[in-house]
Amino acid sequence: MGNKKKIENAMVDDGQLHDAHAFLTKIACTDSNENVDDPFGDLPCDDKPIFAIVDVVKVMNEQAKDSRLKPRLEAMIQEGNMRSLASINDAMLGQLIPLADKFPNFSDVVLHYRKALLLASLSQPAIVYLPPLLIVGDPGIGKTRFLRELAKVLSVDFF
């Protein structure tokens, strides 16, 4: 049975989430039943955890009265915590210039990311940490559209 099928068939309730997290981490990148020594270290594939499912369950239990928060946290658990790492390439860097032209009001943001990506591309492996970005402004100026297109250029998820 493939990894995707194993994950789809793994039914988990709140009491089993810690064990499920270890199980899903173990099978996410391998077909064998071998133990993964360090699930948050060097996994044998490009997927890496972006949050601890156990922490999300803890917050969900603490914030049980907040009816708006619970569906979002449940969706996070359902979607899983593993994401593929994006790699920096020349095409990505080249697509940033037209993005700055298309969104001139966000050219400073594009320049910031372009500098960070150029610097990171000089090392091997080309790994970069881009801190969270908060963009504020009046409704309708294109914040969401810009961020969606930036995420597409950077080959990362927009959520």
pLDDT band for position 108 (cuts 50, 70, 90)? very high
What pLDDT digit, counting tens, does each position of 58-94 carry?
888 887 677 788 888 888 888 888 877 777 888 888 9
Q: What is the mean pLDDT of residues 126-154?
A: 87
Check whether the bond before 125 is cis (ω within 30° of 0): yes
pLDDT value of position 45? 53
Q: What is the mean pLDDT of residues 13-42?
A: 41
Report d(CA 41, CA 106) in Å as an integer. 35
Domain ranges of the chain: 3-84, 90-154
Average pLDDT taken over every residue of the chain: 72
| Residue 30, token pair as written in the block | 């391998």
